[in-house]
Amino acid sequence: MMQVTFPPLLPTAKGLQAIFLDRDGVINERRITHVTRWEEFAFLPGVKAALARLAALGLPVFIVTNQAIVNRGIVARETIEAIHARMCAEIAAVGGAIVKVAFCPHRPDEQCGCRKPAPGMHLDLAAHYGLDLSRCLMVGDSCSDVIAGQAAGCRTALVLTGQGREDVIRAPALGIGNFMIAADLAAVVQRIERQLIPQIVYPATPAVAEAAD
């Protein structure tokens, strides 16, 4: 497994130590029928450049993704891993870096501890890589991602790509607050670069106005 060393406190990132990213709807286009082969994987606009900027900031990036299609028998584990290898290679080709792609293969009925909104993947990565979760930012496009990130003790951000535009409306009714709202991953990275992340939690409003930056 790749060895990573973490800088003590990044002045450019206001103490952020690492970034967790959801995959579908954050990195690639969310599909109704899921990604079962590389030809169905489409990077969202600006994502590869944003990942290169995170690498330039020295921020390690981890991906945490639910892939129940594995245990549903729709796609083989090896196929998912091959898709992730290709994804990581394309990201690396533009100067980005993914330290580790963690995925949960379980179906909801298996009641595992790693399927988001459970925080198992975050906790496992933190234990393995020595992460301080309070200094990590979880970025997702769904309420489930925000719940998982907050359950793990992370700072959280909801992007309005994928199903984000629907879930940003659902969030208050689910009792979810204190997360950053941004148009897309590039906008999150821009805010990190501007050092607008000085606190553990984020004001939940104003949503749309902040998403415009």
Residues belonging to the active site: 22, 24
d(CA 30, CA 40): 10
Q: Cβ of residue 40: shortest distance to Zn ion, in angstroms?
A: 22
Check binding of 116 to Zn ion (CB under 5 A): no
Q: Cβ of residue 210: shortest distance to Zn ion, in angstroms?
A: 32
Nearer to Zn ion (CB atom), residue 126 or residue 211 = 126
Q: Which of residues 68-107 bind Zn ion (CB under 5 A)?
A: 104, 106
Nearer to Zn ion (CB atom), residue 125 or residue 197 = 125
Total number of residues that touch Zn ion (CB under 5 A): 5
Question: How many CA atoms are closer than 13 Å to the CA of 54, on its beta-carbon side?
Answer: 29
**Inter-residue contact 48 to 90 (CB < 8 Å):** yes
d(CA 70, CA 158): 26
The phi and psi torsions of 159 (rounded to 5 degrees) equal -100, 155
Query: Which residue in the set 88, 112, 196, 207 belongs to the binding site for Zn ion (CB under 5 A)?
Result: 112
Nearer to Zn ion (CB atom), residue 68 or residue 180 = 68
**CA angle, 74 then 75 then 80, to 5°:** 150
For the chain, what's the residue count?
213
Nearer to Zn ion (CB atom), residue 96 or residue 120 = 120
> Residue 37 is encoded by which pair of tokens?
């082969």
β-bridge partners, 96:
none
Judged by CB under 5 A, which stretch of 28-36, 80-88, 108-116, 164-172 contacts Zn ion? 108-116
d(CA 87, CA 67): 15
Nearer to Zn ion (CB atom), residue 81 or residue 166 = 81
Q: Cβ of residue 178: shortest distance to Zn ion, in angstroms?
A: 26
**Inter-residue contact 49 to 94 (CB < 8 Å):** yes
Q: Cβ of residue 83: shortest distance to Zn ion, in angstroms?
A: 18
d(CA 119, CA 152): 5
> Residue 126 is encoded by which pair of tokens?
């933190």
Q: Cβ of residue 133: shortest distance to Zn ion, in angstroms?
A: 18
Binding site residues, Zn ion, CB under 5 A = 104, 106, 112, 114-115
